[in-house]
């Protein structure tokens, strides 16, 4: 994303003079046009990349020189080329990245910065480092995920404990640096060539277990929540730190999902709930606890089309509406091998064990626990072979 062409060595200029095929963006072509030989053939490096890679593959006996910004192995096309063409010799000539340049001019040690790329990607990588509250976050942006959008995103989930540096046209004649609050960034516009540094000013306190009273509840039904001690035991039964995708069926307040995401920020979480009132609880609780990137689906789990939902390796059944007979086989169809299913049973222990054994799952009772003024809960775990 650097906005200038660095000086090229004699070796690099010699390679250019001896080569016919070149590739890069229109911006890079303007930088190096004067260096290209008269017989040069240029391959535009524009989406869709698959089409470009196919053109590279057709020239398997020809040398191709690519012009890209920064370090090709730093969230760049170099990684893609190494994996796509393992049989070809690939020579890399890295230059300073935009994040390195931004660190230089802000005098922030680059080894402190957790760098992610939102360029053509989802917000998932940012979600992880935000929940971890990394002290310094470097972001490679694109037109959609620009500094203003990023600032608005942080504000919506309560991450007001960060400030922002924005570097525009880094390395070029129009290089600019701006330090701003998130509110200032959200109300500003920036050039399309920029990189971002987020600096954590203070840490948001996060309890090991979310107090029950600090979650939004169903109106007039404060007891409709998995209580914090049982919640933590449930996450233990789910082996949540080792999982990649959790389904929370009958999420109600979303307490299990919220706690799971806090413990494992890389976890993908999908919540299912038939009560439409709970959708607003999910939104309020994810915003209250700064938990972006979680998905809620409203409707009867038995009737929901799961073809586009990521397959789980952990499932918590928080509510089943008397439909365990139908629910367990459906879960089994989508559950990854070795996946874990947990239920906190009041009266459904026998049905769960019976249905789990029909699927060939290995079952065990994790514990039986009773909180004051509440009925005893049996935490059951089943694992798919």
pTM of model > 0.85: yes
Q: What average pLDDT does the segment 89-113 reach? A: 93
Q: What is the pLDDT of residues 363-385, one digit of tens each?
A: 999 999 988 888 899 999 999 99
Residue 224 confidence (pLDDT): 81
Residue 375 confidence (pLDDT): 87
The helix/strand/coil state of 31 is helix
Q: What average pLDDT does the segment 299-304 reach? A: 96
Q: Quick one: what percent of the chain has pLDDT higher than 70?
A: 99
Residue 2 confidence (pLDDT): 65
Q: What average pLDDT does the segment 178-183 reach? A: 97
Token pair recorded at residue 324: 């365990």
71 vs 251: which has the higher pLDDT: 251
Q: What average pLDDT does the segment 202-208 reach? A: 92
Q: What 8-state DSSP symbol labels residue 248?
A: E
Residue 220 confidence (pLDDT): 76
Residue 202: which residues within 8 A CB-CB, separation 6 or more? 161
Cα separation of 64 and 53, whole Å? 12
Q: What is the pLDDT of residues 210-266, one digit of tens each?
A: 999 999 998 878 778 999 999 999 999 999 999 999 999 999 999 999 999 999 999
The helix/strand/coil state of 119 is coil
Contact (CB, 8 A) for 95 and 7: no
Confidence of residue 136 (pLDDT cuts 50, 70, 90): very high
Average pLDDT, the chain: 93
Cα separation of 115 and 139, whole Å? 6
Q: How far is CA 281 from the centre of its chain?
A: 22
pLDDT beyond 90 at 7: no
Residue 219 confidence (pLDDT): 84
Contact (CB, 8 A) for 383 and 250: no
pLDDT beyond 90 at 172: no
E-only strand ranges, 84-236? 114-117, 136-140, 162-168, 176-181, 194-200
C-alpha angle with apex 384: 378 to 385, nearest 5 degrees? Answer: 135
On the CB side of 109, how many CA atoms lie within 13 Å of its CA? 3
Residue 4 confidence (pLDDT): 66
Residue 1 confidence (pLDDT): 56
- Pairing mode of beta strands 64-67, 21-24: parallel
pLDDT beyond 70 at 161: yes
Q: What average pLDDT does the segment 157-167 reach? A: 97
| Rg value, the chain, Cα | 26
Q: How far is CA 135 from CA 198, 292, 328, in A?
A: 8, 18, 43
Helix axes 255-263, 277-288, angle to 10 degrees: 30
Q: What is the pLDDT of residues 265-278, one digit of tens each?
A: 999 999 999 999 99
Residue 8 confidence (pLDDT): 86
């Amino acid at each position: 994303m650097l906005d200038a062409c660095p000086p090229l060595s004699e070796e690099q200029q010699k390679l250019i003079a001896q080569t016919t095929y070149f590739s890069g963006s229109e911006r890079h072509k303007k930088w190096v046009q004067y260096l290209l030989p008269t017989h040069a053939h240029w391959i535009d490096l524009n989406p869709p990349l698959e089409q470009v890679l196919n053109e590279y593959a057709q020239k398997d006996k020809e040398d191709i020189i690519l012009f890209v910004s920064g370090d090709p192995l730093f969230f760049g096309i170099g990684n893609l080329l190494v994996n796509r063409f393992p049989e070809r010799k690939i020579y890399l000539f890295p230059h300073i990245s935009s994040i390195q340049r931004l660190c230089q001019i802000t005098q922030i040690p680059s080894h402190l910065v957790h760098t992610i790329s939102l360029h053509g990607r989802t917000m998932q990588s940012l979600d992880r480092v935000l929940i971890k509250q990394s002290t310094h976050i470097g972001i490679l942006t694109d037109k959609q995920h620009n500094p203003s959008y990023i600032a608005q995103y942080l504000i919506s989930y309560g991450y007001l404990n960060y400030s922002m540096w924005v570097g525009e046209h880094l390395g070029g004649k129009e290089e600019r640096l701006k330090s701003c609050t998130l509110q200032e960034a959200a109300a500003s516009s920036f050039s399309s060539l920029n990189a971002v540094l987020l600096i954590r000013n203070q840490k948001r306190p996060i309890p090991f277990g979310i107090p029950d009273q600090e979650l939004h509840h169903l109106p007039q039904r404060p007891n409709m929540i998995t209580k914090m001690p049982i919640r933590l035991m449930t996450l233990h039964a789910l082996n949540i730190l080792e999982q990649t995708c959790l389904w929370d069926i009958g999420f109600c307040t979303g307490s299990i999902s919220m706690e799971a995401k806090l413990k494992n920020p890389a976890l993908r979480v999908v919540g299912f709930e038939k009560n439409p009132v709970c959708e607003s609880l999910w939104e309020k609780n994810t915003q209250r606890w700064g938990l972006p990137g979680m998905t809620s689906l409203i409707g009867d789990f038995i009737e929901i089309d799961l073809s586009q939902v990521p397959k789980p390796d952990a499932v918590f059944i928080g509510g089943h509406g008397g439909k365990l007979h139908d629910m367990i086989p459906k879960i089994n169809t989508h559950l990854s091998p070795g996946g874990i299913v947990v239920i906190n049973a009041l009266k459904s222990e026998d049905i769960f064990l019976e249905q789990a054994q029909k699927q060939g799952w290995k079952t065990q009772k994790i514990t039986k626990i009773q909180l004051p003024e509440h009925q005893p809960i049996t935490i059951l775990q089943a694992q798919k072979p």
